[in-house]
Amino acid sequence: MRRLSRAVAAVSTAVVAAGLLTACGADEEKAAPKLPERVCWGGALTGGDVAPLLPAGDKIEFQSRSGLPFALTEDRKSQTCSLDIDGRTRFQVTADLRKFEDAIDWRSMESAEPEPLDAGKKGIIWNDGAASYFVCEPAKDAGTPGRYIDLGIHLSDPPDEAKVRAALPKLMKELVAFAQRELKCPAGAAS
């Protein structure tokens, strides 16, 4: 009887250990999904720079409008690139065309206690995002519109705040340079 008890105990221990190893293996496998080399609008950002900012997940999907060519016009004043992980939006890049500089309003971010960010004409960074803008074509006077490009990067449930704060400045600078190039804004328009 004692042998049977020991055998049952040994088998039970082996089954529990195998289950734990399988669970650990599943956790190890579940990492931030691998991204394409370039992401958003045909290549705005480096996928390898975005990946560390994402939570673990099994399925990634860029929303359909994320693959459109990048353009901001009177007919299309804004664009969004959204990345879903397991059905939830976890990474989003926005670009908006503004006619006047004072139309750029980030007051809604004040509660996040943003800090200045050296990207574009003016930039800010907070725990799970960043924003910047640049002048593509200045307004000639108070009644004549110009072209001001308002950009944002927003994260949902980033895995590590330190990684976010370290990575977002580079990503925002990359986004500003991409938008200037694609919109054919004059050199130095960011400052």
DSSP one-letter string for 139-153: -SBTTB--EEEEEEE
Beta strands in 3-157 (DSSP E): 38-39, 45-46, 60-62, 78-85, 88-98, 115-117, 122-126, 129-137, 147-155
pLDDT above 60 for 50: yes
Q: Which residues contact 94 (CB under 8 A, 6 or more apart)?
A: 78, 79, 80, 81, 150, 151, 152, 154
pTM: 0.80
Nearest C-alpha neighbor of 155 from the set 60, 63, 70, 84: 84
pLDDT above 50 for 18: no
pLDDT above 90 for 23: no
Predicted confidence band of residue 186 (pLDDT cuts 50, 70, 90): confident
Instruction: Report how far apart, in Å, the C-alpha atoms of 155 and of each of 120, 130, 136, 151 are.
Output: 20, 9, 26, 14
Q: Which residues contact 127 (CB under 8 A, 6 or more apart)?
A: 112, 158, 161, 164, 165
Residue 25's pLDDT is what? 45
Query: Across residues 144-148, what is the average pLDDT?
Result: 93
How high is the mean pLDDT of the chain?
83
pLDDT above 80 for 54: yes
The DSSP 8-state label assigned to residue 64 in this structure reads G
Q: How many residues does the chain have?
A: 191
